[in-house]
């Protein structure tokens, strides 16, 4: 398994296979390990993307099941292509889009910036988990690297001559720990020390922390970010250090398109899947985040999760082992069929896509108001579209 931005073998293997199956393939599509494999039938019609992930985690490999995500995207693409070949009445394009570096690299956001989703009408994917759900609340998330710089001095002979960068890091850590009492229950802040000095009798000149912040919505993320950054700056001021903050690329919260979700649900249930939110509006929470959220805020999108045979959560060695079993591959095959049939629904029924796009627009009009109120912004200041 290859980690983010290093998925060379996966990129090469998948693209060669899809090319051999008759897809028109563009390798290194916007990113060195991204690709676009498409099959077009007829004139016009929608462009439907199957998002294909294949990056692994350090040390624990495919403990998030991206091997299965790749399988479902490729399998669904092959099935839709076959139908497009055999039914001359259908027009449209099916795209298997290779999206590297979901794990920390925000590969889909980088692809958005290159224009990879500019012509896309609908984006589909499904993710393995220890449960099956259609509308998991996947968080907005960001990371920040924090570097404090002070002044070294001998810790015994002349400590008063030093400016302690480790003290700044510890102060920042404590500040954030105190801040948690005033945070919403759905907000998360967690960090680690990267650098904290190396010699016990020298006042540390440099220290470094990395923090991740998560909220249920992208608007809330900006609010939490300001609070956390204030903790870093106040720590620098209190200790006399300088501080440098370097932010990462945000993952936005996932917006599930209800029209597309219902289409997928119908087919997935026909293959035996039971979703915990399938029959009643149960809120399915999760602290997880994904760059598919960024895609979901520019085109109608679905990101359901499906259960493989494990009681363990993603990013564990136990989940990694479960993701490689024959049983999990067979589960992924059924999901692949459900995704393919969902795509075909939209290729066959233009009105379905119209309704999905209308719902997408309505969701963001309503969502912008709701989020503004939650964050203390006057709704009257929002511009109606």
Give the model confidence (pLDDT) of 185-231 as tens digits. 999 999 999 999 999 999 999 999 999 999 999 999 999 999 999 99
Please provide the distance, in angstroms rounded to a whole number, between the alpha carbons at the two ends of the chain.
Answer: 45
376 contact partners, CB below 8 Å, separation of at least 6: none
Give the separation between CA 57 and CA 40, rounded to whole angstroms. Answer: 34
Q: Where in the chain is the domain with CATH 3.30.70.360?
A: 139-247
Q: Identify the bridge partners of residue 51 per DSSP, sorted by sequence position.
A: 97
Are 17 and 74 in contact, with CB atoms under 8 Å apart? yes
Give me the percent of the chain exceeding a pLDDT of 90.
92
| CATH number, domain 8-136+254-372 | 3.40.630.10
Are 232 and 225 in contact, with CB atoms under 8 Å apart? no
* Radius of gyration, CA atoms only, the chain: 23
Q: For residue 56, what pLDDT band results from cuts at 50, 70 and 90?
A: very high
**To the nearest 5 percent, what fractions of the chain are helix, strand and coil?**
40, 25, 35
Averaged pLDDT for residues 32-59:
98
- What is the residue whose two structure tokens read 């040390």? 59
Give the model confidence (pLDDT) of 240-275 as tens digits. 999 999 999 999 999 999 999 999 999 999 999 999
Give the model confidence (pLDDT) of 102-118 as tens digits. 998 999 999 999 999 99
Give counts: helices (H), strands (E), the chain: 10, 13
Give the model confidence (pLDDT) of 333-382 as tens digits. 999 999 999 999 999 999 999 999 999 999 887 655 444 444 443 333 33
Write out the H or E segment, with its range, that includes residue 35. Answer: strand 35-41
Nearest to 337 by CA among 36, 74, 21, 52: 74
The token pair at 27 is 């390798």
The architecture (CATH level 2) of 139-247 comes to 2-Layer Sandwich (3.30)
In this structure, the number of other CB atoms found within 10 A of the CB of residue 329 comes to: 14
Q: For residue 282, what pLDDT band results from cuts at 50, 70 and 90?
A: confident
pTM, 2 dp: 0.90
Are 71 and 332 in contact, with CB atoms under 8 Å apart? yes
Nearest to 57 by CA among 111, 102, 10, 11: 102
Is 382 or 178 the better-scoring residue by pLDDT?
178
Write out the H or E segment, with its range, that includes residue 84. Answer: helix 66-86
Whole-number pLDDT of residue 367 = 56
What long-range pairs does 157-164 form, CB within 8 A, spacing at least 24? Answer: 159/203, 162/203, 163/203, 163/239, 163/240, 163/241, 164/203, 164/204, 164/239, 164/241
Q: Where in the chain is the domain with CATH 3.40.630.10?
A: 8-136+254-372
DSSP label at residue 272: T
Give the separation between CA 205 and CA 375, rounded to whole angstroms. Answer: 39
Give the separation between CA 84 and CA 42, rounded to whole angstroms. Answer: 9
Q: For residue 64, what pLDDT band results from cuts at 50, 70 and 90?
A: very high
Give the separation between CA 127 and CA 265, rounded to whole angstroms. Answer: 14
Q: Identify the bridge partners of residue 307 per DSSP, sorted by sequence position.
A: 129
Give the separation between CA 70 and CA 82, rounded to whole angstroms. Answer: 19
Sign of the torsion formed by the C-alpha atoms of 142, 124, 3 and 325? positive
Nearest to 91 by CA among 37, 46, 50: 46
């Amino acid at each position: 398994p290859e980690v983010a931005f290093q998925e060379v073998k996966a990129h090469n293997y998948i693209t060669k296979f899809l090319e051999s199956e008759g897809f028109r393939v563009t390798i290194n599509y916007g990113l060195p390990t991204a690709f676009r494999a498409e099959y077009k039938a007829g004139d016009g019609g929608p462009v439907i993307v199957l998002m294909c992930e294949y990056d692994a985690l350090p040390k624990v490999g495919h403990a998030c099941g991206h091997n299965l995500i790749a399988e479902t995207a490729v399998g669904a693409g092959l099935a839709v292509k076959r139908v497009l070949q055999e039914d001359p009445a259908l027009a449209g394009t099916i795209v298997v889009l290779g999206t590297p570096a979901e794990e920390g690299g925000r590969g889909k956001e980088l692809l958005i910036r290159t224009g990879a989703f500019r012509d896309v009408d609908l984006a589909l994917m499904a993710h393995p988990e220890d449960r099956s759900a259609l509308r998991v609340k996947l968080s907005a998330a960001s990371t920040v690297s924090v570097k404090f710089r002070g002044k070294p001095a001998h810790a015994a002979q002349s400590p008063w001559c030093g400016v302690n960068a480790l003290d700044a890091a510890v102060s920042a850590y404590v500040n954030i720990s105190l801040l948690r009492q005033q945070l919403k229950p759905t907000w998360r802040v967690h960090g680690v020390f990267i650098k904290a000095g190396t010699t016990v009798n020298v006042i540390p000149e440099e220290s470094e922390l990395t923090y991740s912040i998560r909220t249920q919505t992208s608007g809330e993320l900006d609010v939490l970010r300001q609070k956390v950054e204030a903790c870093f700056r106040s720590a620098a001021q209190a200790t006399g250090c300088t501080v440098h903050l370097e932010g990462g690329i945000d993952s936005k919260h996932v917006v599930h398109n209800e029209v597309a979700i219902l289409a997928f649900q119908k087919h997935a249930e026909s293959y035996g899947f039971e979703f915990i939110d399938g029959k009643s509006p149960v809120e399915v929470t999760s602290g997880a985040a994904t760059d598919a959220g960024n895609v979901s805020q520019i085109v109608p999108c679905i990101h359901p999760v499906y259960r493989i045979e494990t009681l363990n959560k993603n990013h564990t060695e136990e989940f990694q082992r479960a993701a490689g079993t024959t049983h999990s591959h067979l589960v992924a095959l059924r999901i692949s069929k459900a995704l393919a049939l969902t795509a075909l629904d939209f290729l066959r029924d233009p009105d379905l896509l119209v309704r999905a796009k209308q719902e997408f627009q309505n969701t963001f009009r309503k969502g912008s108001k709701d989020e503004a109120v939650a964050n203390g912004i006057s709704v009257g200041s929002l511009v109606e579209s």
